[in-house]
């Protein structure tokens, strides 16, 4: 009989009851391999996430324009943003625009995603193709999405006004009418509801068919089955999508930036700043107005606000979803 390999003989030693026990050398080697495996992710977190976040926290208490030395001002950036309407006249305007966009886009997105998921769940053939087509807007680059929708909303040549004209509805100047800017942006967000649709579809697949069959036997119609069976069982899914949707809507930036820039336009958020979202305003302070300290303060105000909103959602919505 051949002897076991030398490495195993060194790594294993008899335990207190005759069993094999790993030596400290083997455990240290396992720990070293584990640290080597997580080292890239850990380095990414430290260099690209933690360090920038801590730096932004420091600069939020300074007056800094990216070129000169940062000077310490304490809480002046926070107090001026919240209370000085002369120095920061559009701060609360951007807060209001973002809240309006969130309150409009999140429900519209969830309703559209639910309808699409129900339709896909009822299709027996070709569902994969339709799922792919409905998910394409999500993976399309924001720059392309913004350019396409800016053309679709064009008051003279846009397809949306042309389609409305077929029904005798007069065309609108969507992106140059303050009252229509937020609905126009919310409609684009609804068009990009593919992720929510996939999550709802997964939730529908998880509902046992026996429950639906029992409801049919009891004489429940399609509408009653939806309200009495399907929707209640999707409440945890809806809760998750509401939380993540609100967080994403409060941080909307790329789409608004692309739509209200280009072609010689200045990025101000549309007519009368009706599309000046919070993160777009933050970007303007950081890279257009040379006020990086104020921009960093705005980022942490947004962080605190998102944490408060998320905590409130967990307190009031999760209780209903349970």
Residues in the chain: 322
Domain match, 217 and 305 both: yes
Question: Is the domain of 41 the same as that of 112?
Answer: no
Please give the average per-residue pLDDT across 9-18, as a whole number.
50
Model pLDDT for residues 83-142, shown as the tens digit of each residue: 999 999 999 999 999 999 999 999 999 999 999 999 998 888 888 888 889 999 999 988
pLDDT of residue 17: 53
Q: How far are the Cα atoms of 79, 205, 293, 299 from residue 87, in angstroms, in the given order? A: 11, 54, 14, 18
Closest among 293, 294, 301 to 251, alpha carbons compared:
301
Q: Is the residue at 69 inside a domain?
A: no
Q: How many CB atoms lie within 10 A of CB 86?
A: 6
Q: How far apart are the C-alpha atoms of 216 and 194, rounded to whole Å? A: 30
Q: Which of 41-55, 143-157, 179-193 has the lowest mean pLDDT?
A: 143-157
User: Rounded mean pLDDT of 217-244?
Assistant: 88
- Retrieve residue 187's tokens: 């409609």
- Whole-number Cα distances in Å, 275 to 27, 38, 174, 305: 58, 42, 12, 20
Q: What pLDDT score does 198 carry?
A: 94
Over residues 38-58, mean pLDDT: 95
Is the domain of 181 the same as that of 234?
yes
Contact between residue 134 and residue 116 where contact means Cβ atoms under 8 Å apart: yes
CATH number at residue 147: 1.10.3720.10
Q: What is the reported pLDDT for 228?
A: 85
Range of the domain at 11: 6-59
pLDDT mean over 165-174: 88
Looking at 174-234, list the stretches that DSSP marks H as alpha helix, in order from N- to C-terminal side.
Answer: 178-191, 194-205, 209-217, 222-225, 231-233
Report d(CA 277, CA 249) in Å as an integer: 10
The model's pTM: 0.85
Strands 62-63, 71-72: pairing is antiparallel
Q: How many domains does the chain have?
A: 2
Mean pLDDT (the chain) is 87
71 assigned to some structural domain: no
Alpha helices in 228-267 (DSSP H): 231-233, 235-250, 254-259
Does 46 lie in the same domain as 109?
no
| One domain for residues 28 and 168 | no
Q: Which of 84, 42, 37, 77 is nearest to 57 (CA)?
A: 77
CA–CA gap between residue 194 and residue 188 (Å, rounded): 12
Pair 222, 312 in one domain = yes
- The pLDDT value recorded for residue 22 is 55
Burial class (CB in 10 A: 0-12, 13-18, 19+), 121: middle
Say if residues 95 and 302 touch (Cβ distance below 8 Å).
Answer: no
Question: Which structure tokens are listed for 104?
Answer: 């409009």
In a domain, 209, yes or no: yes
Residues 32 and 125 occupy one common structural domain: no
């Amino acid at each position: 009989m051949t002897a076991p390999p030398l490495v195993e003989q060194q790594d294993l030693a008899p335990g207190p009851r005759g069993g094999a026990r790993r030596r400290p050398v083997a455990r240290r080697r396992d720990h070293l391999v584990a640290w080597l495996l997580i080292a890239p992710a850990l380095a990414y977190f430290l260099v690209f996430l933690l360090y920038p976040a801590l730096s932004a926290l420091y600069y939020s208490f300074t007056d800094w324009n990216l070129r000169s030395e940062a000077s310490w001002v304490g809480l002046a950036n926070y107090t001026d943003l919240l209370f000085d309407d002369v120095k920061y006249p559009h701060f609360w305007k951007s807060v209001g625009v973002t809240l309006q966009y969130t309150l409009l886009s999140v429900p519209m997105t969830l309703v559209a995603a639910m309808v699409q998921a129900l339709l896909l769940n009822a299709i027996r053939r070709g569902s994969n193709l339709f799922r792919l087509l409905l998910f394409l807007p999500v993976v399309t680059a924001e720059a392309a999405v913004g350019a396409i929708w800016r053309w679709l909303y064009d008051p003279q040549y846009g397809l949306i006004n042309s389609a409305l004209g077929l029904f005798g509805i007069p065309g609108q100047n969507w992106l140059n009418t303050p009252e229509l800017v937020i609905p126009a942006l919310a409609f684009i967000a609804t068009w990009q509801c593919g992720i929510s649709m996939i999550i709802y579809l997964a939730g529908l697949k998880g509902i046992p068919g026996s429950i639906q069959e029992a409801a049919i036997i009891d004489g429940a119609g399609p509408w009653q089955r939806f309200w009495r069976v399907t929707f209640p069982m999707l409440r945890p899914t809806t809760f998750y999508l509401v939380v993540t949707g609100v967080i994403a809507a409060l941080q909307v930036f790329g789409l608004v930036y692309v739509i209200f820039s280009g072609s010689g336009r200045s990025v101000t958020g549309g007519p009368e700043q009706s599309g000046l979202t919070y993160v777009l305003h933050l970007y303007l302070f950081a890279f257009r107005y040379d006020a990086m300290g104020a921009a960093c303060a705005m980022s942490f105000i947004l962080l605190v606000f998102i944490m408060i909103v998320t905590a409130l959602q967990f307190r009031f919505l999760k209780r209903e979803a349970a």
